[in-house]
Structure formats: structure tokens, C-alpha cells
Structure 1
Amino acid sequence: MVDYLYDGTFEGVLTCIYHHYYSEKASGIFLREEYQSTMLGGYQEVETDADKAITVYEAIEKKISSGDLKRIYKVFASDVKEKECKILNYVRLGFVRGACISLLHGDPIVFSAQEAEKRVNNEVHKLKGLVRFSELENGVLYSPIEPQCDVVEFLAPHFCDRFKNEAFLIHDVRRGKALAAYQGEWYVRGFTRRELAPFSKKEKDYQNMWKTYFKNMAIRERLNPRCQKNRMPMRYWKHLTEFHL
């Protein structure tokens, strides 16, 4: 058995799984730049191969289910440790048990994947209510976020429906990528602040109006900072306009 090292892409993980079945069995899958070799076993660097990745992708969809394929992708998007090994174990079990794997809630492999998926779903749910847009000079709506999980593309359906006729960018500052959307069409691309257009002249007025509304609507006697922090963790406050009063 061998540790497979990959490039950090979902296709890279699928390529490693292909090699697990068609080359040498994998003892684990690890990110290349974070891997620390040991004296107990060998490792092999795997180059991402689109054809091999598609083969595994289609096999998961056919032999397990499309729902489990989505779960596996969300595990990959999570921030849990050794998520690649969790995916490998889930796929191995899924190829044996088939679509019923999602019902094996007591199995540690399935439970681990469910928990990783839940982290992604919870963060997407929070961000649907916490994303704050600012208007750029070119009319595009812009929002910076710094999520723990890689969730920017999972926000697309909600905000494309909400802003059907608006162009907007949701910028994952931590990962240097952005969701770009207009009239229901969207894609994810690499993005940095250096590409950002200036804010519009009206933007400061919009922010002041929102801050005034937030301040005046609050009932001071019912303020509960502890509850607020539980419902809206402080890691999100950095990009919330109303918290910069």
C-alpha cells in the first residue's frame, strides 16, 4: 500500500481513487505540499488526469448515487482534517454497499462524511443571511467573505435567484477566488483585490443608511451579545457593514 499525494483539486482526489483500484492500493490520500513522509511506508505523487477522474466520477454516480457524489464533493469542500482519506473510505464502502450507504448512519465512515457535509451546509446557510454587498463604480455588486469551508459556489443558486438582473461578485478572500454572476449565469474564477473596481460614489450613503436602520431598529433592552455571538460567530463580523458603526 502507498500514500498518494495530489495537487489539491477534486479531480486530483478522484485520480488517486482511480489509481487505488487500477494500480496500487492507497493507504491514504494527502495534499502534496502538506505531506510529511514516514519510515513506515512509501508515497507516490499523482498527476491529475481528467479522463481517470471522469471514470471515477461516473462510477460513483452509477454504482452509489448522485446524492452521494454531491456528499463526497461537499466533504472535499469542507475544512475537516484528512478529508481526502474520508472520501476514499466512503467511496470504498459505497462501491460495496451501493446507494444504501447513506442510510448507514451508525457506521463511523458514513458518520464522519455526514459531519463534514453538515459543516459545509451550515456555513452556506449562515452566509445566505450574512453576505453584504457594496456597489462598485461599474455597477457590479461586490461582497468579500472569508468562510472556513470552500463554499462560494454553493451560494450561487440562492443569490442568482435573489439578484436575477444584477451582476455580482462574491469574493472568497481567503482562497483568492470569486463567484461571478449575471442574469442567472455564474462561474468561479481566481480573483484578487487588485482587480476590484472602485466603490461607487453612492456606496457610502448606502452604508450609512443601513447602519442607521440597524441602529434604530435594535431594541437596546433586549440586546444579548452572547446569543448574538452564538448565532452569528465573530469570524463573520469583519465583513458586516452594520458592525462598523
Structure 2
Amino acid sequence: MTVYIFDGSFEGFLTALFEFYERKPGRIQLVLQSHFQPGLLEEPFEVITDPAKSTRVWKGLQAKLSPDWQKRFYTAFLSEVPDFFQHLFEAACYIFDHAKGAEHNYGNPALLAVAQMDRSVHREKHRMEAFIRFQETADGIFYAPIEPDYNVLPLISRFCKNRYADQQWIIYDLKRKYGLFYDLQTVAEVSFEMIPEAKTAGTYLPEQLLDSQEHLYALLWNDYFKSTNIPARKNMKLHIQHVPKRYWKYLTEKKGKN
């Protein structure tokens, strides 16, 4: 079997599709470059990302897919789950090989997998929109670190720009080592060499980097949550279902809790 090795980018994925239809090697396995391990019975083929080829393939998919499914396709890709790329590849081939509207055939395992992954990524997107907690730095920029299961920064960019339009902010994905910076006009991608990580809830930036009033805002936020809490209605199982513990270290209101 031929193994197509790509760099993990969306353009690289689309280029792999182009090469597949150009070369017609039969059934292939699509593998991330970072996860590739040579095998005795496999023939590796390195996909060189080509913007012209990827643009051509994406236009072809757009002609076949409804606008809703175009979004689903890209959203599912942002899962970055290594084993899922094969499903996405097979779904794209199914779309190309059948008449327009084929994406609605959920009897196809690959299309079903794409629809399910789209829901999972969107669920993580909504959680990140709800769980972002900023700390104001000494230079007036609001900073919030996140570690989502999936690469949802491209999906929350517009929401955050509209919701936090009156302040400069950085939302940084610690897992993927890049973030979004809003300068009151546009949102741009940024990357830093050294980024502090949360040790305990609500303490992800050193005190010397924070605005002098930041600790007071944190106290007010905690007091608000305490005042609105009703102990008799406490349902920790339901709470954890909606706010999983893996997010707690970035929530100011969870400071001091396990």
C-alpha cells in the first residue's frame, strides 16, 4: 500500500487529494509527517504542499458540497486527530466520485465520521467561548491561555473579536504554541518562545506582569460566584459534565479547588 505523508496543514491535505487523483495509486493511507513510521511493505510518498493544487481541489469540493458541509469539512479537519484524517480523505473521495448531494448519505462510514467529528469540535468551540478568562497585564493587554482538545482558535476568532471589541487581547493555545492577538482593529496570529502555564487556577501569569488592580478584579469575580451559589442545589456531577475539570486551572472562580 502507498502511504501519503503530509505536513498536517489544510493545504497539505488538499494537495494530497490532488496527488491521489493525479497519480491514481489505488487505495492509500494518509499519515501525518510527525506520525510516520516506515514499514517493510509500504511505499511512502511525501506530499509537498502546493497552494495552487490545494486551491484547485478546494474549489472542486465547494462545487460539490453545500455551504453547511463546506464548514463541516473544515471544522472536522481542525480536530487534528491523526487517525481521523483517513476518514476525511475517504469522505472527500466519495464526494468527488458521486453526484452532488452525496454528503447526505450517512450510510457511508467516512461521511458519518466527519459529521460526528464536526459536532465534537463545535462542542469544544462553544466551551472555549464560555471558559475564556482574561488577566490584564501591566501594559493594558488582556491575556487568556487555553488548551483545547481541538484546534478551535480559527473558529472562535470572529466571536472573540465581536465580544471583546473594546480591549486589546491575546488568546493563546498553549498546546499548539500559537495564539490570536486583537489590536482593536484586526485579529492576527502570534507565536511566542516562552509562555507561562497555569500552576493553580487563575494564576497563569506572574504577578509582576499583571496590572496592579488585577487581583482585586479576581476577588470580585470570586465573590460574585460565591454570592450566586446555592449550596442546597449543588450538583457536582452535572457541574463537571458541563465544566470538565481539565478546564478548571484557567477559571478564576476555581482558584483553590481541585
TM-score normalised by length of structure 2: 0.88
Identity value in percent: 27
Q: Match for 2:223: what amino acid?
A: T
Corresponding residue of 1:236: 247
2:231 aligned residue (209, 216, 220): 220
**Do 2:65 and 2:103's aligned partners in 1 also have CA atoms closer than 8 Å?**
no
Question: Which segment drifts farther, 115-124 or 69-78?
Answer: 69-78
Q: Match for 2:23: what amino acid?
A: S
Q: In the superposition, relative to structure 1, how do residues 50 and 183 fare at CA in structure 2: closer, same or farther (>3 Å)?
A: same
Post-superposition offset of 1:57: 1.3
For residues 184 and 228 of structure 1, the distance between their equivalents in structure 2, rounded to whole angstroms, comes to 37
Q: In the superposition, relative to structure 1, how do residues 176 and 96 fare at CA in structure 2: closer, same or farther (>3 Å)?
A: same
Matched, 1:47 2:48: yes
**Do 2:157 and 2:180's aligned partners in 1 also have CA atoms closer than 8 Å?**
yes
Post-superposition offset of 1:237: 0.7
For residues 228 and 138 of structure 2, the distance between their equivalents in structure 1, rounded to whole angstroms, comes to 30
Corresponding residue of 1:143: 144
**Do 2:15 and 2:54's aligned partners in 1 also have CA atoms closer than 8 Å?**
yes
Q: In the superposition, relative to structure 1, how do residues 169 and 99 fare at CA in structure 2: closer, same or farther (>3 Å)?
A: farther
Corresponding residue of 1:160: 161
After superposition, the CA RMSD in angstroms is 2.0
**Do 1:137 and 1:198's aligned partners in 2 also have CA atoms closer than 8 Å?**
yes
Q: Match for 2:179: what amino acid?
A: A
Structure with greater helix percent:
1
For residues 78 and 53 of structure 2, the distance between their equivalents in structure 1, rounded to whole angstroms, comes to 20
Post-superposition offset of 1:105: 2.3
For residues 198 and 76 of structure 1, the distance between their equivalents in structure 2, rounded to whole angstroms, comes to 36
Say which SS state the counterpart of residue 89 (structure 2) adopts: helix
**Do 1:28 and 1:88's aligned partners in 2 also have CA atoms closer than 8 Å?**
no
- Cα deviations across residues 100-147 of structure 1 (Å, max 9, x unaligned)? 133212321111001111111000111111111111112111111100
Corresponding residue of 1:85: 86
**Do 2:166 and 2:184's aligned partners in 1 also have CA atoms closer than 8 Å?**
yes
Q: In the superposition, relative to structure 1, how do residues 79 and 11 fare at CA in structure 2: closer, same or farther (>3 Å)?
A: closer
Q: In the superposition, relative to structure 1, how do residues 81 and 8 fare at CA in structure 2: closer, same or farther (>3 Å)?
A: closer
**Do 1:141 and 1:167's aligned partners in 2 also have CA atoms closer than 8 Å?**
yes
Unpaired runs of 5+ in structure 1?
none
Q: Match for 2:239: what amino acid?
A: Q
Say which SS state the counterpart of residue 101 (structure 2) adopts: helix
Q: In the superposition, relative to structure 1, how do residues 183 and 98 fare at CA in structure 2: closer, same or farther (>3 Å)?
A: farther
- Cα deviations across residues 23-61 of structure 1 (Å, max 9, x unaligned)? 243512111121123233211112211111111111111
Post-superposition offset of 1:192: 4.5
Query: Number of aligned pairs?
Result: 245
Question: Which segment drifts farther, 192-201 or 130-139?
Answer: 192-201
Q: Match for 2:11: what amino acid?
A: E
Q: Match for 2:249: what amino acid?
A: K
Q: Match for 2:244: what amino acid?
A: P
Question: Which segment drifts farther, 220-229 or 190-199?
Answer: 190-199
Unpaired runs of 5+ in structure 2?
197-204
For residues 37 and 24 of structure 1, the distance between their equivalents in structure 2, rounded to whole angstroms, comes to 21
Post-superposition offset of 1:172: 0.4
Post-superposition offset of 1:193: 4.2
Corresponding residue of 2:15: 15
Post-superposition offset of 1:86: 1.4
